[in-house]
């Protein structure tokens, strides 16, 4: 009998941690289905993505270990997908530990370790230095420093 694994995520700023998670999940079964959160769903979750949904799902579709990529549009979709695709294993990163245990009545639920020191959130923090408001703050600070230096010349 075919063993189907499913996972869900935003997959913004796709990185090695995402790839490791998908490859590890694929090793648990015969087929891996990945549901990628839509931009609208991310807005409801209070998340702002950098990469638009159409690009994120296209990236996921082209990962060797992914057999099918589908949109995720709401929290209730998980139970429906598990039944629809006859899922054997629901897998997520361990940062979601115990949050989906209610799905254990439908399939096995596992939480895999994440790749150390890498996440989309940390990448976004590093990129914040390029944010327009941050650059404006830096410019204002430099102007202030310049005016102080001028007073001592």
Q: Which phi and psi (to 5°) does residue 131 adopt?
A: -60, 140
CB atoms within 10 A of CB 120: 20
2-30: per-residue pLDDT in tens?
Answer: 999 999 999 988 888 889 999 999 999 99
Name the band, by pLDDT with cuts 50, 70 and 90, for residue 131.
Answer: low
Domain region containing 124: 119-153
Judge if 57 and 107 occupy the same domain: yes
54-111: per-residue pLDDT in tens?
Answer: 999 999 999 999 999 999 999 999 999 999 999 999 999 988 999 999 999 999 999 9
Judge if 63 and 41 occupy the same domain: yes
- Among residues 3, 45, 104, 139, the one annotated as catalytic is 45
- Looking at per-residue pLDDT, the higher value among 147 and 82 belongs to 82
Q: CA nearest 36: which of 17, 58, 9, 59?
A: 9
Is residue 47 annotated as a catalytic residue, yes or no?
yes
CB 56 within 8 A of CB 49: yes
Is residue 139 annotated as a catalytic residue, yes or no?
no
- Among residues 2, 3, 26, 47, the one annotated as catalytic is 47
- What CATH number does the domain containing 74 carry? 3.40.50.620
Judge if 77 and 131 occupy the same domain: no
What is the model's pLDDT at position 146?
Answer: 76
Judge if 125 and 109 occupy the same domain: no
Judge if 98 and 145 occupy the same domain: no
């Amino acid at each position: 009998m075919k063993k189907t694994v499913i996972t869900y995520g935003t997959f913004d700023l796709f990185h090695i941690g995402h790839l490791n998670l998908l490859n590890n999940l694929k090793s648990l079964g015969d087929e891996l289905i990945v549901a990628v959160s839509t931009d609208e769903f991310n807005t409801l979750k209070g998340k702002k993505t950098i990469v638009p949904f159409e690009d994120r799902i296209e990236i996921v579709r082209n990962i060797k270990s992914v057999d099918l990529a589908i949109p995720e549009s709401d929290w209730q979709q998980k139970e429906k997908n598990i039944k629809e695709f006859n899922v054997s294993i629901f897998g997520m990163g361990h940062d979601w530990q115990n949050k989906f245990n209610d799905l254990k009545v439908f399939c096995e639920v596992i939480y895999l370790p994440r790749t150390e020191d890498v996440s989309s959130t940390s990448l976004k923090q590093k990129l914040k230095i390029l944010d327009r408001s941050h650059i404006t703050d830096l410019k204002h600070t430099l102007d202030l420093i310049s005016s102080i230096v001028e007073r001592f010349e």
